[in-house]
């Protein structure tokens, strides 16, 4: 309980601290994030992401929903309740509902199938906390997204198609920034390609946004920033782009960062 | 009360049907529709240029380039007064505004502005090229429709999409070439 109370307190503190570090000479964004991270650890002895993970842990083991069950029966691909090392294999095909799901979609489908929630009863904040918790069990793990099942291959191909789609009022596609200009900066933010390890940071606490971000949140953020209305959570474009990015990063041999990550 | 809801439900059903009907021929449409009506609208409603740049992953085959450039040139509109050189001070506002030019996302401009992107070439000291008619015309047309020079460039067609008006485009030209613009001061 104590930990849960800490979240709003830490979040209130953020604005003030962020303002303090604005300088004439812009700091490298990566160094800036590391400084902020150190400050959190010094002040609170814990990072915001870890608070979300422990909130998720509590939710995971609590009997909830019309069926009054916990999520311990949820199979993330390595067997029911097997959380350790499950995240790096997602998105993957699940035979029980015949769908390719990323971590957050899998959590939602388990909340429906096991706990009996209706889709509209599912609280996004709960899904974010649960996603943070499950992913934290694969901190620094090697990525393992290798599409094999026909449904996984279809998802990968859809993701690839969307990756190259030029659209919207700024004529953008993911590829023109994240392939063709990878290694360059947008303002001060360096842009990576999947081959350089794009996608290794999520879920992460973003101190500039003052929120926990999942992979789907991050995709939505890039779409919105180029003027394209973002695809809905748990939709096929989200799962497809996640599959494509992580499959390409897997081929290049990347691992996840410390999860949950702390970033700008 | 019933009406709008029915209308919306009808629309969603129509979209779903559309998705289903075309799912054999085009699985993209059905899948994109799951992202929501607004998302699907923008992704599927590409103009001819965006469609070609998607199809060829932004690397147009040589034989398509002359026609592509011709079509992009035809999209360029000019200020009513015919002047391609506007007010550099307003140009600076449009250049900086994230909702209009947002040029600092990719370009260095005023050397005092340190938070600039590096995806495009630096525009500092662009005025060294002078203010001859061909330079003004190239700069105007490039900013209004970047694809009329480099097909499928990362640089968006701000004028074509109405992110800034023809008059504001002329102001941007002035920000780039005017000797008094901070871009060209040393």
- Helix/strand/coil for A235: coil
**Contact predicate A53/A109, CB 8 Å:** no
- CB of B148 within 8 Å of any CB in chain A? no
**Contact predicate A149/A247, CB 8 Å:** no
Residue A254 CA: distances (Å) to CA of A142, A251, B63? 6, 8, 39
Tokens 């199809």 label which residue? Answer: B55
Q: How far is A64 from chain B (nearest CA, A)?
A: 28
| pLDDT for the residue numbered B27 | 81
Chain A residues inside the 8 Å CB shell of B41: 229
Q: How confident is the model at residue A101 (pLDDT cuts 50, 70, 90)?
A: very high
| pLDDT for the residue numbered A26 | 67
What contacts B172, CB < 8 A, 6 or more positions away? B86, B91, B94, B95, B101, B103, B143, B164
**Contact predicate A234/A105, CB 8 Å:** yes
Could you tell me what percent of chain B has a pLDDT over 90?
84
Chain A residues inside the 8 Å CB shell of B58: 164, 166, 173, 175-176, 180
| pLDDT for the residue numbered A7 | 55
Question: By C-alpha distance, which of A264, A263, A261 is closest to A52?
Answer: A261
| pLDDT for the residue numbered B12 | 46
Chain A residues inside the 8 Å CB shell of B118: 184-185
Mean pLDDT of chain B: 90
The verdict on a CB contact (< 8 Å) between B154 and A177 is yes
| Token pair belonging to B106 | 């990719």
The domain locations on chain A are 2-136, 150-263
Residue A241 CA: distances (Å) to CA of A235, B12, B31, B162? 10, 23, 12, 29
Number of CB atoms found within 10 A of residue A78's CB: 12
Among A164, A185, A240, whose Cβ lies nearest the Cβ of B54?
Answer: A164
Please enumerate, by residue number, every residue of A annotated as part of a binding site for substrate: 218
- CB of B16 within 8 Å of any CB in chain A? no
Question: By C-alpha distance, which of A99, A88, A97, A208 is closest to A154?
Answer: A99
Tens of pLDDT, residues B103-146: 999 999 999 999 999 999 999 999 999 999 999 999 999 999 99
| Burial bucket for residue A120 (CB in 10 Å: 0-12, 13-18, 19+) | exposed
What contacts A182, CB < 8 A, 6 or more positions away? A191, A192, A193, A195, A196
Is the pLDDT reported for residue A142 higher than 70?
A: yes
Please enumerate, by residue number, every residue of A annotated as part of a binding site: 74, 110, 174, 177-178, 218, 222
Number of A to B CB contacts under 8 A, please give it.
110
Give the integer Cα–Cα distance in Å for B58 and B51: 10
Residues A74, A80, A86, A91, Cα dihedral to 10°: -50
Q: Region A35-51: what's the mean pLDDT?
A: 92
Among A158, A166, A231, whose Cβ lies nearest the Cβ of B54?
Answer: A166
| pLDDT for the residue numbered B170 | 98
Chain A residues inside the 8 Å CB shell of B163: 169-170
Q: Region A181-201: what's the mean pLDDT?
A: 96
Among B27, B31, B156, whose Cβ lies nearest the Cβ of A170?
Answer: B156
| pLDDT for the residue numbered B16 | 46
Domains annotated on chain B, with CATH: 4-45 (no CATH), 88-177 (1.10.760.10)
Are A2-136 and A150-263 in the same CATH fold?
A: yes
Per-residue H/E/C for A19-87: HHCCCCCCCCHHHHHHHHHHHHHHHHCCCHHHHHHHHHHHHHHCCECCCCECCCCCECCCCECCCCCCH
Among B32, B58, B119, whose Cβ lies nearest the Cβ of A175?
Answer: B58
- Confirm or reject CATH 1.10.760.10 for domain A2-136, answering yes or no: yes
ipTM of the complex: 0.91
Catalytic residue positions of A? 222
Number of CB atoms found within 10 A of residue B105's CB: 19
Tens of pLDDT, residues A214-261: 999 999 999 999 999 999 999 999 999 999 999 999 999 999 999 999
Q: How confident is the model at residue A15 (pLDDT cuts 50, 70, 90)?
A: very low
| pLDDT for the residue numbered A8 | 52
- CB of B107 within 8 Å of any CB in chain A? no
Is the pLDDT reported for residue B147 higher than 90?
A: yes
Is the pLDDT reported for residue A23 higher than 70?
A: no
The more confident residue out of A239 and A28 is A239
| pLDDT for the residue numbered B19 | 44
Q: Region B78-85: what's the mean pLDDT?
A: 97
Phi, psi of B181 (to 5 degrees): -65, 140
Which chain B residue has its CA at the smallest distance from A25's CA? B114
- Helix/strand/coil for B162: coil
Q: Among the CATH numbers 1.10.760.10, 3.30.360.10, 1.20.1250.20, 3.40.50.410, which is that of A150-263?
A: 1.10.760.10
């Amino acid at each position: 309980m104590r930990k849960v109370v800490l979240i709003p307190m830490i979040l209130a503190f953020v604005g003030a601290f962020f303002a303090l570090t604005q300088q004439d000479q812009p700091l490298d964004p990566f160094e800036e994030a590391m400084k902020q991270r150190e400050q959190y650890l010094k002040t609170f002895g814990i990072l915001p992401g870890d608070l979300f993970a422990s909130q998720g842990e509590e939710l995971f083991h609590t009997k909830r929903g019309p069926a009054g069950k916990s999520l311990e029966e949820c199979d993330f691909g390595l067997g029911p309740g097997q959380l350790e090392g499950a995240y790096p294999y997602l998105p993957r095909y699940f035979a029980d509902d015949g769908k390719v799901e990323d971590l957050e979609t899998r959590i939602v489908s388990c909340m429906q199938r096991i706990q009996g929630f209706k889709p509209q009863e599912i609280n996004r904040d709960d899904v974010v906390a649960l996603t943070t918790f499950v992913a934290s069990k694969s901190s620094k793990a090697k990525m393992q997204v290798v599409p094999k099942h026909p449904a996984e291959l279809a998802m990968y191909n859809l993701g690839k198609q969307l990756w190259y789609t030029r659209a919207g009022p700024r004529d953008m596609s993911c590829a023109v920034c994240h392939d063709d200009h990878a290694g360059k900066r947008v303002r001060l933010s360096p842009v990576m390609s999947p081959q350089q390890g794009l996608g290794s940071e999520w879920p992460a606490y973003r101190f500039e946004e003052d929120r926990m971000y999942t992979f789907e949140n991050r995709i939505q953020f890039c779409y919105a920033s180029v003027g394209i209305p973002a695809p809905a959570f748990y939709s096929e474009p989200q799962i497809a782009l996640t599959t494509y990015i992580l499959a390409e990063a897997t081929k290049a041999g990347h691992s996840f960062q410390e999860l949950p990550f702390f970033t700008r | 009360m019933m009406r709008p809801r029915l209308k919306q439900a009808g629309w969603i059903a129509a979209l779903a049907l559309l998705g289903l009907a075309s799912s054999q021929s085009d699985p993209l449409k059905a899948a994109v529709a799951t992202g929501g009506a607004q998302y699907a609208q923008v992704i599927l409603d590409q103009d001819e240029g965006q469609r070609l740049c998607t199809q060829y992953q932004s690397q147009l085959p040589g034989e398509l380039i002359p026609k592509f450039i011709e079509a992009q040139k035809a999209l360029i509109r000019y200020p009513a007064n015919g002047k391609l050189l506007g007010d550099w001070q307003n140009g600076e506002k449009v250049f900086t505004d994230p909702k209009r030019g947002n040029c600092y996302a990719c370009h260095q401009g005023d050397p005092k502005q340190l938070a600039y992107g590096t995806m495009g070439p630096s525009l500092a000291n662009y005025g060294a090229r002078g203010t001859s008619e061909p330079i003004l015309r190239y700069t105007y047309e490039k900013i209004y429709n970047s694809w009329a020079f480099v097909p499928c460039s990362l640089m968006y067609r701000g004028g074509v999409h109405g992110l800034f008006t023809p008059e504001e485009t002329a102001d941007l030209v002035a920000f780039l070439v005017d000797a008094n613009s901070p871009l060209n001061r040393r």
